[in-house]
Amino acid sequence: MTLTIVSMLPTLQNTNGDAENARVLASRARWAGLDATVVEVESAAQLPHRVDAVVLGSGSDASLDESRTRLLSMHDEFRRWGTEGVPILSIGTGWELLSWGVELANGRSVEGLGILPGRAVPRASRVTGDLVVKSPRFGMLVGFENHARDYIGAEASPLGRTRAGSGNGRDSGQEGAVMGDVYGTHLHGPVLAKNPEFADRLLETIASRAGLAYAPGDRARTVDEYAAAARATQLAAAGVAVSGR
Protein backbone atom coordinates (compact mmCIF):
# COMPACT_ATOMS: atom_id res chain seq x y z
CA MET A 1 0.00 0.00 0.00
CA THR A 2 1.24 3.47 -0.89
CA LEU A 3 0.53 6.28 1.57
CA THR A 4 -0.57 9.41 -0.30
CA ILE A 5 0.41 12.77 1.18
CA VAL A 6 -1.36 15.66 -0.55
CA SER A 7 0.49 18.96 -0.86
CA MET A 8 -2.41 21.37 -1.35
CA LEU A 9 -2.02 24.41 -3.65
CA PRO A 10 1.81 24.45 -3.51
CA THR A 11 2.12 27.15 -6.21
CA LEU A 12 -0.03 29.55 -4.16
CA GLN A 13 0.54 28.40 -0.58
CA ASN A 14 4.28 27.89 -0.13
CA THR A 15 5.61 31.34 0.78
CA ASN A 16 7.69 30.07 3.70
CA GLY A 17 8.44 26.62 2.31
CA ASP A 18 5.62 25.15 4.39
CA ALA A 19 4.39 22.92 1.56
CA GLU A 20 7.60 20.94 2.11
CA ASN A 21 6.06 19.50 5.28
CA ALA A 22 4.43 16.99 2.92
CA ARG A 23 7.86 15.80 1.79
CA VAL A 24 9.01 15.54 5.39
CA LEU A 25 6.14 13.14 6.10
CA ALA A 26 6.77 11.10 2.96
CA SER A 27 10.53 10.88 3.58
CA ARG A 28 10.14 9.77 7.20
CA ALA A 29 7.57 7.18 6.12
CA ARG A 30 10.01 5.79 3.53
CA TRP A 31 12.84 5.73 6.09
CA ALA A 32 10.53 3.58 8.21
CA GLY A 33 10.12 1.09 5.36
CA LEU A 34 6.70 2.32 4.24
CA ASP A 35 5.80 3.25 0.67
CA ALA A 36 4.76 6.91 0.45
CA THR A 37 4.31 9.53 -2.24
CA VAL A 38 3.56 13.26 -2.38
CA VAL A 39 0.82 14.39 -4.76
CA GLU A 40 0.66 18.11 -5.55
CA VAL A 41 -2.94 19.25 -5.90
CA GLU A 42 -3.84 22.61 -7.44
CA SER A 43 -7.51 21.89 -8.16
CA ALA A 44 -10.27 19.45 -7.23
CA ALA A 45 -9.73 17.61 -10.52
CA GLN A 46 -6.23 16.61 -9.38
CA LEU A 47 -7.33 14.99 -6.11
CA PRO A 48 -6.11 11.39 -5.88
CA HIS A 49 -8.54 8.60 -5.08
CA ARG A 50 -6.81 7.91 -1.77
CA VAL A 51 -5.71 10.68 0.62
CA ASP A 52 -3.82 9.76 3.80
CA ALA A 53 -2.76 13.27 4.89
CA VAL A 54 -3.03 16.87 3.69
CA VAL A 55 -0.55 19.73 4.03
CA LEU A 56 -1.71 23.28 3.27
CA GLY A 57 1.04 25.88 3.54
CA SER A 58 1.01 29.64 3.87
CA GLY A 59 0.64 32.16 1.04
CA SER A 60 0.50 35.91 0.55
CA ASP A 61 -2.60 38.04 1.03
CA ALA A 62 -2.56 38.61 -2.72
CA SER A 63 -3.35 34.91 -3.21
CA LEU A 64 -6.10 34.67 -0.56
CA ASP A 65 -9.06 35.00 -2.93
CA GLU A 66 -7.70 32.57 -5.52
CA SER A 67 -6.71 30.07 -2.86
CA ARG A 68 -10.14 30.32 -1.24
CA THR A 69 -11.88 29.76 -4.57
CA ARG A 70 -9.88 26.60 -5.21
CA LEU A 71 -10.27 25.31 -1.65
CA LEU A 72 -14.01 25.98 -1.72
CA SER A 73 -14.33 23.53 -4.63
CA MET A 74 -12.94 20.89 -2.23
CA HIS A 75 -14.99 21.92 0.81
CA ASP A 76 -16.87 18.60 0.99
CA GLU A 77 -13.61 16.66 0.83
CA PHE A 78 -12.08 18.72 3.65
CA ARG A 79 -15.18 18.08 5.75
CA ARG A 80 -15.01 14.36 5.05
CA TRP A 81 -11.27 14.15 5.76
CA GLY A 82 -11.75 15.96 9.05
CA THR A 83 -14.59 13.65 10.05
CA GLU A 84 -12.69 10.51 9.05
CA GLY A 85 -9.53 11.47 10.96
CA VAL A 86 -7.27 12.20 8.00
CA PRO A 87 -4.48 14.42 9.40
CA ILE A 88 -4.60 17.93 7.95
CA LEU A 89 -1.74 20.32 8.73
CA SER A 90 -2.39 23.96 7.82
CA ILE A 91 0.03 26.83 8.34
CA GLY A 92 -0.30 30.61 8.23
CA THR A 93 -2.85 31.82 5.68
CA GLY A 94 -3.61 28.18 4.86
CA TRP A 95 -4.84 27.81 8.42
CA GLU A 96 -6.74 31.11 8.22
CA LEU A 97 -8.56 29.90 5.10
CA LEU A 98 -9.73 26.79 6.94
CA SER A 99 -11.10 28.96 9.78
CA TRP A 100 -14.38 30.89 9.99
CA GLY A 101 -12.80 33.75 8.06
CA VAL A 102 -10.07 36.34 7.59
CA GLU A 103 -10.53 40.03 8.35
CA LEU A 104 -8.19 42.28 6.35
CA ALA A 105 -6.73 45.62 7.42
CA ASN A 106 -8.77 47.43 4.72
CA GLY A 107 -12.01 46.25 6.33
CA ARG A 108 -12.76 43.52 3.79
CA SER A 109 -13.40 39.97 4.95
CA VAL A 110 -12.61 36.67 3.26
CA GLU A 111 -14.91 33.86 4.34
CA GLY A 112 -13.13 30.67 5.37
CA LEU A 113 -14.17 27.05 4.93
CA GLY A 114 -15.16 26.69 8.60
CA ILE A 115 -13.12 23.54 9.17
CA LEU A 116 -11.35 24.97 12.24
CA PRO A 117 -12.83 27.23 14.95
CA GLY A 118 -11.84 30.89 15.17
CA ARG A 119 -10.94 33.66 12.78
CA ALA A 120 -7.98 35.84 11.85
CA VAL A 121 -8.19 39.56 12.70
CA PRO A 122 -5.77 42.45 11.97
CA ARG A 123 -3.11 43.37 14.50
CA ALA A 124 -1.44 46.77 14.88
CA SER A 125 1.85 45.60 13.37
CA ARG A 126 3.35 42.48 11.82
CA VAL A 127 5.03 40.08 14.23
CA THR A 128 8.15 38.16 13.19
CA GLY A 129 10.63 36.10 15.17
CA ASP A 130 11.17 32.86 17.04
CA LEU A 131 8.07 31.06 18.27
CA VAL A 132 8.25 28.37 20.96
CA VAL A 133 5.15 26.44 21.98
CA LYS A 134 4.62 23.93 24.77
CA SER A 135 2.15 21.39 23.38
CA PRO A 136 0.47 18.73 25.53
CA ARG A 137 0.49 16.40 22.51
CA PHE A 138 3.89 17.05 20.96
CA GLY A 139 6.15 18.51 23.65
CA MET A 140 8.15 21.67 22.97
CA LEU A 141 7.67 22.95 19.42
CA VAL A 142 9.91 25.53 17.76
CA GLY A 143 9.51 27.57 14.62
CA PHE A 144 9.36 31.03 13.14
CA GLU A 145 6.28 33.26 13.09
CA ASN A 146 5.59 35.92 10.46
CA HIS A 147 2.02 37.19 10.43
CA ALA A 148 0.03 40.42 10.37
CA ARG A 149 -3.09 39.00 12.03
CA ASP A 150 -4.03 37.59 15.42
CA TYR A 151 -6.29 34.58 15.82
CA ILE A 152 -9.36 34.64 18.03
CA GLY A 153 -12.19 32.25 18.90
CA ALA A 154 -10.13 29.09 19.35
CA GLU A 155 -9.19 29.50 23.00
CA ALA A 156 -10.70 26.14 23.94
CA SER A 157 -8.65 24.16 21.42
CA PRO A 158 -5.11 25.55 21.00
CA LEU A 159 -2.12 23.58 19.77
CA GLY A 160 -0.29 24.69 22.90
CA ARG A 161 0.91 27.53 25.14
CA THR A 162 3.46 30.05 23.94
CA ARG A 163 6.80 30.03 25.75
CA ALA A 164 8.32 32.63 23.42
CA GLY A 165 6.77 34.73 20.68
CA SER A 166 3.26 36.03 20.05
CA GLY A 167 1.37 33.01 18.73
CA ASN A 168 -2.34 33.71 18.43
CA GLY A 169 -1.80 37.14 20.00
CA ARG A 170 -4.16 39.34 22.03
CA ASP A 171 -2.24 38.24 25.16
CA SER A 172 -3.91 34.83 24.91
CA GLY A 173 -0.67 32.97 25.63
CA GLN A 174 -1.82 30.38 23.12
CA GLU A 175 -0.75 29.18 19.69
CA GLY A 176 -2.63 27.37 16.99
CA ALA A 177 -5.96 25.61 16.78
CA VAL A 178 -6.79 21.89 16.78
CA MET A 179 -9.97 20.05 15.90
CA GLY A 180 -9.53 16.28 15.96
CA ASP A 181 -6.68 15.60 13.56
CA VAL A 182 -6.91 19.00 11.85
CA TYR A 183 -4.14 21.39 12.92
CA GLY A 184 -3.63 25.10 12.34
CA THR A 185 -0.45 26.91 13.35
CA HIS A 186 1.74 29.96 12.76
CA LEU A 187 4.86 27.77 13.04
CA HIS A 188 7.02 28.00 9.93
CA GLY A 189 10.25 26.09 9.54
CA PRO A 190 8.97 23.84 7.98
CA VAL A 191 7.49 22.86 11.33
CA LEU A 192 7.74 19.08 10.83
CA ALA A 193 11.42 19.25 9.88
CA LYS A 194 12.22 21.22 13.03
CA ASN A 195 9.98 19.08 15.25
CA PRO A 196 10.33 15.37 14.38
CA GLU A 197 8.10 14.29 17.28
CA PHE A 198 5.22 16.20 15.70
CA ALA A 199 5.90 14.51 12.35
CA ASP A 200 6.11 11.07 13.93
CA ARG A 201 2.84 11.47 15.81
CA LEU A 202 1.11 12.42 12.56
CA LEU A 203 2.72 9.43 10.83
CA GLU A 204 1.51 7.11 13.58
CA THR A 205 -2.04 8.28 12.85
CA ILE A 206 -1.54 8.02 9.09
CA ALA A 207 -0.13 4.50 9.31
CA SER A 208 -2.73 3.30 11.82
CA ARG A 209 -5.59 4.43 9.59
CA ALA A 210 -4.02 2.41 6.77
CA GLY A 211 -3.63 -0.69 8.95
CA LEU A 212 0.13 -0.26 9.14
CA ALA A 213 2.66 0.27 11.92
CA TYR A 214 5.08 3.18 12.02
CA ALA A 215 8.40 3.40 13.86
CA PRO A 216 11.16 5.89 12.95
CA GLY A 217 13.91 4.37 10.83
CA ASP A 218 17.66 4.58 11.36
CA ARG A 219 18.05 7.47 8.94
CA ALA A 220 15.37 9.42 10.80
CA ARG A 221 17.31 9.05 14.03
CA THR A 222 20.42 10.43 12.34
CA VAL A 223 18.55 13.39 10.86
CA ASP A 224 16.86 14.02 14.20
CA GLU A 225 20.23 14.65 15.80
CA TYR A 226 20.69 17.64 13.49
CA ALA A 227 17.16 18.81 14.26
CA ALA A 228 17.84 18.50 18.00
CA ALA A 229 20.97 20.66 17.73
CA ALA A 230 19.08 23.31 15.75
CA ARG A 231 16.23 23.22 18.26
CA ALA A 232 18.60 23.63 21.19
CA THR A 233 20.15 26.69 19.57
CA GLN A 234 16.76 28.24 18.90
CA LEU A 235 15.46 27.50 22.39
CA ALA A 236 18.56 29.05 23.92
CA ALA A 237 18.20 32.15 21.73
CA ALA A 238 14.57 32.44 22.81
CA GLY A 239 15.51 32.04 26.50
CA VAL A 240 13.62 28.79 26.95
CA ALA A 241 15.20 25.90 28.88
CA VAL A 242 15.99 22.97 26.56
CA SER A 243 14.63 20.49 29.09
CA GLY A 244 11.37 22.39 29.57
CA ARG A 245 8.37 20.46 28.34
**pLDDT(243) > 80:** no
Cβ of 50: how many Cβ atoms within 10 Å? Answer: 12
Q: What is the DSSP string of 187-242?
A: -BTTHHHH-HHHHHHHHHHHHHHTT------HHHHHHHHHHHHHHHHHHHHTT--T
Q: Using CB atoms within 10 A of its CB, is residue 135 exposed (0-12), middle (13-18) or buried (19+)?
A: buried
C-alpha to C-alpha distance for 64 and 102, rounded to whole angstroms: 9
Cβ neighbours of residue 239 closer than 8 Å, sequence gap 6 or more: 164
Does the residue 16 lie in any domain?
yes
pLDDT > 90: percent of the chain: 96
Separation in Å, CA 203 to CA 9, 26, 28, 37, 156: 21, 9, 8, 13, 25
C-alpha to C-alpha distance for 203 and 64, rounded to whole angstroms: 29
Does the residue 243 lie in any domain?
no
Cβ neighbours of residue 136 closer than 8 Å, sequence gap 6 or more: 160
Of 132, 116, 129, 237, the residue nearest 178 (C-alpha): 116
Does the residue 150 lie in any domain?
yes
The pTM of the full predicted model, rounded to 2 decimals, is: 0.96
Q: Give the CATH number of the domain where residue 138 resides.
A: 3.40.50.880
What are phi and psi for residue 145, nearest 5 degrees?
-105, 145
C-alpha to C-alpha distance for 25 and 29, rounded to whole angstroms: 6
Question: What is the predicted pLDDT for the residue at 241?
Answer: 79
Cβ neighbours of residue 112 closer than 8 Å, sequence gap 6 or more: 68, 96, 97, 98, 99, 100, 101, 102, 119
**pLDDT(192) > 80:** yes
Where residue 127 falls among pLDDT bands split at 50, 70, 90? very high
Pairing of strands 174-175, 160-164: antiparallel
Cβ of 39: how many Cβ atoms within 10 Å? Answer: 16
Q: For the segment 25-36, what is each residue's pLDDT rounded down to a tens digit? A: 999 999 999 999
C-alpha to C-alpha distance for 121 and 159, rounded to whole angstroms: 19
Question: What is the predicted pLDDT for the residue at 242?
Answer: 62
Does the residue 99 lie in any domain?
yes
Does the residue 86 lie in any domain?
yes
Question: What is the predicted pLDDT for the residue at 244?
Answer: 43
Q: What is the mean pLDDT of the chain?
A: 96
Does the residue 118 lie in any domain?
yes
Task: Give residue 171's domain range.
Answer: 2-237
Say how many domains are in the chain: 1
Of 222, 219, 199, the residue nearest 31 (C-alpha): 219
**pLDDT(223) > 50:** yes
CB 102 within 8 A of CB 119: yes
Q: For the segment 138-181, what is each residue's pLDDT rounded down to a tens digit? A: 999 999 999 999 999 999 999 999 999 999 999 999 999 999 99
C-alpha to C-alpha distance for 197 and 200, rounded to whole angstroms: 5
Does the residue 152 lie in any domain?
yes
Q: For the segment 35-82, what is each residue's pLDDT rounded down to a tens digit? A: 999 999 999 999 999 999 999 999 999 999 999 999 999 999 999 999
pLDDT higher at 242 or 71: 71
